[in-house]
Amino acid sequence: MVHYFDTYSILVITKESVIRRLYTPIEVLCIDSVDDLEYGAALFVDEVFPDEDDILLYKIKGNLYAYKHFMITTSSNQ
């Protein structure tokens, strides 16, 4: 299995089709309310992990959430 992330970074493809590595903390925007995280909240990803199905999980405020609830913000330019 090939992973495009490790505990403290992920690879992303920008709108300009450039591959970039982003290092934690990564700023994200909550695009789908989940648990106690409200829609529109700006948050920081502290770590990243795969679940048992290799779905990317973000560790935010000590809890794990599926990546699909968040959008990486443009201010994550590192």
DSSP-assigned beta bridge partners for residue 44: 27
pLDDT < 50 stretches in the chain: 1, 77
pLDDT value of residue 1? 44
Which pLDDT value is given to residue 5? Answer: 80
Provide φ and ψ at 18, rounded to 5°. Answer: -105, 135
Domain borders along the chain are 5-76
* Distance from C-alpha of 46 to C-alpha of 36, rounded to nearest angstrom: 17
φ, ψ (nearest 5 deg) of residue 74 = -65, -20
Ramachandran assignment for 50, one of left (phi > 0), alpha (psi -120 to 50 degrees), beta (any other): beta
The pTM of this model reads 0.84
